[in-house]
Amino acid sequence: MGKGDIFLVFLGNRSVWVKIGYFIPKIGTNRVYFNKILSFQDVKS
């Protein structure tokens, strides 16, 4: 499974975004990126 496919799955599964937030808490840059995506999801829904 490529990163693109995984990304599409994430877009369709909100709970996965929340899990990722806890799964990679030590990766600062990615954490910030995912938080921005979560904020976008909140506005979208």
Q: Which residues contact 41 (CB under 8 A, 6 or more apart)?
A: 14, 17
Query: What pLDDT shows up at residue 31?
Result: 66
Q: Could you report the per-residue pLDDT of 1-45, keeping only the tens digit for each?
A: 566 666 666 666 667 767 766 666 555 666 677 777 777 766 665
Query: What pLDDT shows up at residue 40?
Result: 75
Query: What pLDDT shows up at residue 36?
Result: 79
Are residues 17 and 37 in contact, defined by beta-carbon separation less than 8 angstroms? yes
